[in-house]
Amino acid sequence: MVALQKNSLKSQSERLELVPNQEGGLPEVADYPESISHLVAAGNVRLPTTNAPNTWDKRKCANLLAFYNADDAYDCETDDENSDAARDNRVKLCKVLGITAYQIQQVSISILNRALER
């Protein structure tokens, strides 16, 4: 519960807290998004804060949703990073990790602003 609260207060580039699953297990750090920006941005989009390539992708997202036993997790293996299913998985995972709709919106705005600057 504390990790969820801490994540709900993070800025888009701050490192996320590890959130335990229902059994109390923690995911591997290598299989966890570094920040809200990593999670919200599609795998083929550069990060809004650093312009670095995003290392988080739809496969990692689906695997982490499965770790949290999210019943409605969709394996989007055939979809691209920008598909509705991949985007829905990213939003579902945000909710599981305690990230708020406002935080998601702020990162999305940053991504759009970066795209418009090009």
Largest Cα–Cα distance of the chain, in whole Å?
45
Q: What is the pLDDT of residue 37?
A: 92
| Mean pLDDT for the stretch of residues 71-85 | 66
Alpha-carbon span 44 to 29, nearest angstrom? 21
Q: What is the pLDDT of residue 43?
A: 83
Residue-wise pLDDT for 4-54, tens only, equals 999 999 999 999 999 999 999 999 988 899 999 999 988 878 888 788 888
Alpha-carbon span 63 to 68, nearest angstrom? 9
Q: What is the pLDDT of residue 95?
A: 95
Least confident of 33-37, 93-97, 112-116: 112-116
Alpha-carbon span 23 to 45, nearest angstrom? 34
8 Å CB contact between 89 and 73: yes
* pLDDT over 70 at 91, yes or no: yes
The structure's pTM equals 0.85
State the average pLDDT for the chain: 87
